[in-house]
């Protein structure tokens, strides 16, 4: 990476080396509308997060509901059995009943939150600033009396009076909180103000470790987290796929890759990022948007002719980082934005050579067509029409193939089967036991159609691998 002033950013490398990731998918993430994980799903997600290498897991707010309590207890049990290494955190309001519930789980840490902006104090808590300070002191001390680690969260810290916030953090620290989360609850910080904010707080109230909890209401969450770490935050709250209240918080995958790209630091096992993406997509029921940075389907799909010509020459022309960094691959689509180089390369991949003159005519035809994305089959049809040559090898009868499919362990086999069933050319499908999960019989009039059907199958989310056999001969009984 050689952006202007990058060397200034690199001065903060050690801040990013020491920063810890706190994953809050099971607490903040479950506050996403429509998301409700089962206990078993939470255990699986917690295990996956631990394999990924996050330092802390905020497992839930036990006072919320019996199943939240049960899930936190079972995640703590996994920790005790050595199945999970990360610190386990239970969330709590600043009330004794919530703290008792959190303590009952035997989590490593209780995180107590209290809104500290005047808006929250007046409208929500109906407390004066002084009353709030004594509640914070009393509740942190109460949680400490259970012998656990305590984090205090200054909810809506980014809109609190700065001098009052200093008193809040001092009060929490002096009462025994060794970590304090400064929450940007409505996402109004920017990288610059976040940096200044954390620098100020670290200086004014030292001897406490600061967390940044940044919401994404203005699309700033990752950038705010960067600023906060540069300013001295030593933990960043993230969720898988950016889940959370309203539009969520810092997406784990985007933050981890941004740290890798800018500083060369692996905060987590990057090769497992897509696995956890799919797991949480499936259990949350929320698919990641196509254009989501890093993990969206289009993160490495190029389109404009100029771009494709660039990436064919050197992928770095239009990629901030190589897809292989997270086990993904690049591709490009063909439509009216395409140029000669893109079409030529696609045709060559299909084993078709055309003259320069033919190429120009094919391109012209593509530009007049109404296709939103041309499949290989569409492209070959246009090439045949333009050149007047049969570009498909002659076949006398239909082709048949058997495709053996292994479904990702985090995906329901039946849902993949349903999607495959809808593809033209798929004639039969069976769910099976053994090394593979599905066997599919495909028929197509020629190699190109067969390829298109197979490509469509391979493109279905949740398919881990396929093995295809072309049928040569058949004996009917
Ligand atoms: C910004 C964040 O995301 S912080 C995390 C927020 N988490 C949650 O809200 C977890 C899900 N919540 C719930 O299940 C419920 O709201 C519960 C169990 C916490 C409380 O339920 P209820 O007792 O029915 O209260 P209700 O939700 O109607 O109102 C919240 C009450 O908590 C109080 N409260 C809110 N935050 C806090 C706090 N940090 N500390 C102490 N009390 C608080 C409110 O003042 C209000 O009290 P009131 O009834 O005296 O006005
Ligand atoms: O506990 C925290 O750090 C954050 C609480 C929260 O979710 C928020 O303020 O948005
Ligand atoms: Mg939040």
- CA-closest candidate to residue 425, choices 452, 404, 406: 452
Q: To the nearest whole number, what is the mean pLDDT of the chain?
A: 95
* Residues of the chain by 3-state class (helix, strand, coil), percent to 5: 45, 20, 35
ipTM for the predicted complex comes to 0.98
CA distance 171 to 352: 73
- Give the phi and the psi of residue 72 in degrees, each rounded to 5: -60, -45
Say if residue 213 carries a ligand binding annotation. yes
Angle (CA) 220 223 228, round 5°: 115
128 is in an annotated binding site: no
Assign 79 to helix, strand or coil. helix
Whether this model's pTM surpasses 0.80: yes
Asked if residues 116 and 155 have their Cβ atoms less than 8 Å apart, the reply is yes
Scanning 272-355, the segments in alpha helix (DSSP H) are: 273-284, 305-313, 340-349
pLDDT (0 to 100) of residue 77: 98
pLDDT of residue 476: 54
At residue 139, φ and ψ (nearest 5 deg) are -75, -35
CB 68 less than 6 A from any atom of ligand 1: no
Q: Can you tell me which atom of ligand 1 is nearest the CA of 124?
A: 45
Angle, in degrees to the nearest 10, between helices 191-204 and 162-175: 50
d(CA 362, CA 71): 59
All residue ranges of the chain with pLDDT < 50 are 395-396
CB of 150 shorter than 6 A to ligand 2? no
Tokens found for residue 340: 């000669």
Angle at 157 between CA 220 and CA 169, to 5 degrees: 135
- Residue partners of 139: CB distance under 8 A and separation at least 6: 94, 95, 96, 99, 112, 114
With a 6 Å cutoff on the Cβ, whether 213 touches ligand 2 is: yes
**Which helix (H) or strand (E) covers residue 212, if one does?**
strand 209-214
How far is the centre of ligand 2, averaged over its atoms, from the C-alpha of 4 (Å)?
34
Look at residue 394 in the predicted model and tell me its pLDDT. Answer: 53
| Residue that is written with structure tokens 């045709």 in the block | 347
Active site residue 125: no
């Amino acid at each position: 990476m050689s952006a202007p002033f990058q060397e200034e950013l690199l001065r903060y490398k050690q801040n990013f080396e020491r920063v810890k990731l706190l994953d809050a998918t099971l607490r903040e993430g479950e506050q996403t509308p429509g998301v409700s994980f089962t206990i078993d799903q939470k255990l699986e997600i917690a295990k996956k997060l631990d394999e990924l290498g996050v330092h802390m897991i905020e497992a839930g707010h036990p006072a919320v509901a019996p199943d939240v309590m049960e899930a936190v207890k079972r995640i703590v049990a996994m920790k005790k059995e050595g199945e999970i290494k990360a610190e386990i955190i239970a969330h709590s309001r600043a009330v004794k009943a919530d703290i008792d519930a959190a303590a009952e789980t035997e989590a490593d840490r209780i995180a107590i939150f209290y809104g500290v902006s005047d808006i929250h104090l007046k409208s929500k808590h109906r407390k004066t600033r002084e009353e709030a300070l004594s509640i914070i002191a009393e509740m942190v001390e109460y949680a400490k009396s259970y012998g656990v680690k305590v984090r205090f969260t200054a909810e809506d810290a980014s809109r609190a009076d700065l001098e009052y916030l200093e008193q809040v953090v001092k009060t929490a620290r002096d009462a025994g909180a060794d970590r304090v989360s400064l929450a940007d609850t409505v996402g109004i910080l920017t990288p610059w103000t976040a940096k200044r904010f954390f620098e100020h707080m670290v200086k004014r109230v030292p001897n406490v470790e600061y967390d940044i909890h940044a919401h994404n209401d203005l699309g700033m969450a990752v950038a705010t987290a960067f600023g906060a770490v540069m300013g001295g935050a030593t933990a960043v709250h993230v969720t898988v796929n950016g889940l959370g209240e309203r539009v969520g918080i810092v997406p784990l995958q985007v933050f981890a890759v941004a740290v890798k790209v800018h500083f060369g630091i692996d905060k987590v096992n990057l090769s497992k990022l897509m696995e956890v993406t799919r797991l949480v997509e499936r259990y949350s029921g929320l698919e990641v948007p196509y254009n989501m940075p890093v993990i969206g389907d289009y993160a490495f799909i190029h389109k404009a002719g100029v771009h494709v010509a660039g990436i064919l020459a050197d992928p770095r022309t239009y990629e901030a980082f190589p897809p292989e960094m997270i086990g993904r691959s690049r591709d490009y689509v063909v439509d009216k934005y395409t140029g000669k180089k893109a079409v030529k390369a696609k045709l060559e991949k299909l084993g078709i050579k055309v003259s320069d003159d033919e190429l120009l005519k094919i391109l012209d035809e593509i530009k007049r067509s109404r296709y939103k994305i041309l499949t290989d089959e569409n492209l070959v049809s246009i090439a045949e029409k333009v050149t007047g040559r049969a570009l498909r090898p002659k076949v006398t009868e239909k082709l048949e193939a058997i495709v053996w499919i292994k479904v990702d362990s985090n995906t329901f086999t039946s849902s993949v089967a349903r999607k495959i069933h809808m593809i033209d050319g798929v004639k039969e499908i069976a769910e099976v036991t053994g090394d593979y999960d599905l066997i599919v019989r495909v028929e197509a009039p020629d190699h190109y159609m067969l390829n298109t059907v197979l490509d469509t199958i391979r493109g279905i989310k949740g398919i881990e691998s396929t093995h295809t056999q072309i049928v040569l001969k058949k004996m009917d009984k």
